[in-house]
A and B are shown apart, each in its own frame.
Chain A
Amino acid sequence: MYPSIKPVSESAFIIYFGDHIDLALPQLIARVKARLEQLSGFALIECIASYTTLLVEYHPLKISAIELHALIESALRELPAENQVAQGKCIELPTYYSLQSGPDLALIAKAKGLSIEHIISIHSQQRYTVCAIGFAPGFAFLASVDKAIQSPRHHKPRMLVPAGSVGIADQQTAVYPTQSPGGWNIIGNCPLPLFDPSGDPITPFSVGDSVQFNAIDFDDYVSLGGQICWDWRS
């Protein structure tokens, strides 16, 4: 049944690797993506990995659907066993957890009957997997948040969430790379730039990488360029 290869448009296939979120899949998909890009040269236009899928858009004058289908099959056949999959890189994100930078800490503490310190230690002890990048440039969906602090999105998203905000939505956590509207529970702020169009790389994340949040104090936060948001509009 899995993996399965399905055409979705005139010039795209989607590969399904499973039907539920499995933290082993993003690394596997990253390997298939890398292999497929090697095999198909300039014929691929986009290759978008996400949780359980890989979307492959191609240039039909450079490769035919039949040829690409065969290449995908061979990339899948050459998959290394799970324990041989190279670990992606680990990205450390210094994070200032506080009521000032994380206005939803109090909300989660109340809902879960935990102290704020406890929530911070649970969130920062876990190592997360980059499962997908999307929603906004450089926005990495990280899983899996410990059950003890999982919290649903706000019914009404905030009009404005500052850049660097660290949020929780159910089993996922993420950093908003740029200021945007957002409905996740904000618990802290990471002062590092996570999307810089003139940078190389423009975002540190790749699907399959792992991420570790490190709690920092106010002084470190400010010295890393962190800013205080005085106006948390709901």
Chain B
Amino acid sequence: MLGLEVLNPGVLSLVQDLGRFGVAHLGLSQGGPADLHAFCWGNRLLNNPSNSASIEIALGQASFKALADLSIAITGADMGASIDGISQANWQSFRLLKHQTLRFSGCRKGQRAYLSIEGGVQTKAIFDSVATVVRNQLGGLAQQGQDFSHGKPLQKGDKIAFQASREHAKQGQQLVPTQFIPDYSETLKIGVIESYQNDAFEAVQKHRFYQSQYVVTAHSDRMGIQLKGPKIESPVTGIISEGIVAGSIQIPANGLPIILACDRQTLGGYAKLGSVIKRDQWRLAQAKPGTKIHFEPADLNLATQQWMTFMRFFGL
């Protein structure tokens, strides 16, 4: 049934589930939430299955009108959400009543908020996913008469269906324990799994990479985080194109590192220093332009254990 009407989609609001998997060999990007941590908490607060679709709101300025009574949750960036003018805190579930308006203003901390809805956003999947990848023209809300959705961000007037359940109406408010709520305004220490062409880089280049401060630039998006700072000299002008994982740290010809994100291309031809550990990829997704970051080597086994703990915790 219909739950929300988009009054204003803001800068960029996208329907996202965990992502589109198993089709990268055909050249399709994975999509999914830029900040998996915040996304997973949103669904958990509502007792939704972990792959339920939510709305990723970038930079705020979005507003929605309730078309029915429903349970929702907001996680991730603090965008000063309010219901009919009364402020509503993040990292908790709450009831939104029919005719009420939920409004996000600008970002205070972080830059991506997740609006999760009871039962998850209902729309047609393509390749087993509703994740919106604008570049691939796949995912998102299907328009009337379409077999599948074509990768459109939310538009003014879109109506969002949810799956109502009696349980939600009875269930009390759920809160995320404070130790799981990140402070998105911190200077970031970014863990690096040294891999790919790391061995080919000169020691002096790697030293510079770890000792320097980098700044997130405004050119960053869901494809990649572009950094400003001391240049790293790549040992080669290009490599034979190879598969790239999320978090890959690519060094292009201009020497400025790019950290590839969820909408990345599937293949890349630049040398890479390694990959950013998942937890820090999610933190980077919330880093506004100007955020200062430092890199440090991460332990592969520890990072794998942490990823497994996360997957178990959220049932991924």
Chain A interface residues (CB < 8 Å from chain B): 6-12, 14, 20-21, 45-55, 57, 59-61, 65, 132-139, 141, 178, 197-198, 202-203, 207
User: Once the chains bind, are A137 and B245 in contact (CB under 8 Å)?
Assistant: no
**Given A9-B245, A50-B267, CB of A137 within 8 Å of CB of B307:** no
Out of A6, A48, A65, name the residue touching B267 (CB < 8 Å).
A48
User: Once the chains bind, are A50 and B241 in contact (CB under 8 Å)?
Assistant: yes
Most buried by A among B267, B306, B316: B267
User: Once the chains bind, are A137 and B26 in contact (CB under 8 Å)?
Assistant: yes
Any A CB within 8 A of the CB of B283: no
User: Once the chains bind, are A50 and B242 in contact (CB under 8 Å)?
Assistant: yes
Most buried by B among A59, A133, A137, A203: A137
User: Once the chains bind, are A207 and B25 in contact (CB under 8 Å)?
Assistant: yes
Looking across the interface, which residue of chain A has its beta carbon closest to that of B307?
Answer: A10
Out of B30, B147, B278, B304, name the residue touching A65 (CB < 8 Å).
B304
User: Once the chains bind, are A8 and B195 in contact (CB under 8 Å)?
Assistant: yes
Q: Which residues of A contact B26 (CB under 8 A)?
A: 133, 137-138, 202-203
User: Once the chains bind, are B241 and A141 in contact (CB under 8 Å)?
Assistant: yes
Looking across the interface, which residue of chain B has its beta carbon closest to that of A8?
Answer: B195
Any A CB within 8 A of the CB of B28: yes
**Given A53-B242, A55-B245, A132-B267, CB of A11 within 8 Å of CB of B304:** yes
Instruction: Report, nearest first, the 8 A-B pairs whose CB atoms are least far apart.
Output: A55-B243, A134-B267, A48-B243, A10-B307, A8-B195, A53-B242, A9-B275, A137-B27
Q: In the complex, what's the smallest C-beta–C-beta distance from A198 to chain B, in angstroms?
A: 6
Out of B147, B195, B266, name the residue touching A6 (CB < 8 Å).
B195
Q: In the complex, what's the smallest C-beta–C-beta distance from B65 to chain A, in angstroms?
A: 32
User: Once the chains bind, are A8 and B193 in contact (CB under 8 Å)?
Assistant: yes
**Given A7-B195, A14-B196, A60-B311, CB of A45 within 8 Å of CB of B240:** no
Number of interface residues of B (CB under 8 A): 43
Any A CB within 8 A of the CB of B102: no
Out of B243, B267, B316, name the residue touching A135 (CB < 8 Å).
B267
Q: Which residues of B contact A135 (CB under 8 A)?
A: 27, 265, 267
Chain B interface residues (CB < 8 Å from chain A): 21-22, 24-28, 30, 126-127, 136-138, 147-148, 193, 195-196, 240-248, 265-267, 274-275, 277-278, 300, 303-304, 306-308, 311-312, 316
User: Once the chains bind, are A61 and B312 in contact (CB under 8 Å)?
Assistant: yes
User: Once the chains bind, are B245 and A12 in contact (CB under 8 Å)?
Assistant: yes
User: Once the chains bind, are A48 and B241 in contact (CB under 8 Å)?
Assistant: no
Q: In the complex, what's the smallest C-beta–C-beta distance from A201 to chain B, in angstroms?
A: 8
Q: In the complex, what's the smallest C-beta–C-beta distance from A153 to chain B, in angstroms?
A: 12
Looking across the interface, which residue of chain B has its beta carbon closest to that of A137?
Answer: B27
Q: In the complex, what's the smallest C-beta–C-beta distance from A3 to chain B, in angstroms?
A: 13
Bound CA–CA A21/B238 (angstroms): 13
Out of A10, A52, A137, A139, name the residue touching B303 (CB < 8 Å).
A10
Q: Which residues of B contact A59 (CB under 8 A)?
A: 311
Out of A45, A49, A178, A203, name the residue touching B22 (CB < 8 Å).
A45
Q: In the complex, what's the smallest C-beta–C-beta distance from B40 to chain A, in angstroms?
A: 15
Q: Which residues of B contact A6 (CB under 8 A)?
A: 195-196
Bound CA–CA A59/B127 (angstroms): 18
Bound CA–CA A61/B304 (angstroms): 10
Q: Which residues of B contact A137 (CB under 8 A)?
A: 26-28, 136
Bound CA–CA A205/B277 (angstroms): 33
User: Once the chains bind, are A14 and B275 in contact (CB under 8 Å)?
Assistant: no
Bound CA–CA A14/B241 (angstroms): 12
User: Once the chains bind, are B277 and A10 in contact (CB under 8 Å)?
Assistant: yes
User: Once the chains bind, are A133 and B27 in contact (CB under 8 Å)?
Assistant: yes
User: Once the chains bind, are A60 and B307 in contact (CB under 8 Å)?
Assistant: yes
Looking across the interface, which residue of chain A has its beta carbon closest to that of B150?
Answer: A197
Looking across the interface, which residue of chain B has its beta carbon closest to that of A141?
Answer: B241
Q: Which residues of B contact A21 (CB under 8 A)?
A: 240
**Given A137-B27, A198-B147, CB of A46 within 8 Å of CB of B22:** yes
Bound CA–CA A122/B83 (angstroms): 67
Bound CA–CA A138/B195 (angstroms): 28
User: Once the chains bind, are B195 and A48 in contact (CB under 8 Å)?
Assistant: no
Bound CA–CA A3/B62 (angstroms): 51
Q: Which residues of A contact B242 (CB under 8 A)?
A: 14, 50-53, 55
User: Once the chains bind, are A197 and B241 in contact (CB under 8 Å)?
Assistant: no
Out of B30, B241, B275, B300, name the residue touching A132 (CB < 8 Å).
B241
Looking across the interface, which residue of chain B has its beta carbon closest to that of A206?
Answer: B25
Most buried by A among B22, B193, B241: B241
Looking across the interface, which residue of chain A has its beta carbon closest to that of B240?
Answer: A51
Q: In the complex, what's the smallest C-beta–C-beta distance from A181 to chain B, in angstroms?
A: 11
**Given A51-B240, A52-B240, A202-B26, CB of A8 within 8 Å of CB of B196:** yes
Q: Which residues of A contact B193 (CB under 8 A)?
A: 7-10
Q: Which residues of B contact A47 (CB under 8 A)?
A: 25
Q: Which residues of A contact B127 (CB under 8 A)?
A: 197
Looking across the interface, which residue of chain B has its beta carbon closest to that of A172?
Answer: B241
Q: Which residues of B contact A10 (CB under 8 A)?
A: 193, 277-278, 300, 303-304, 306-307
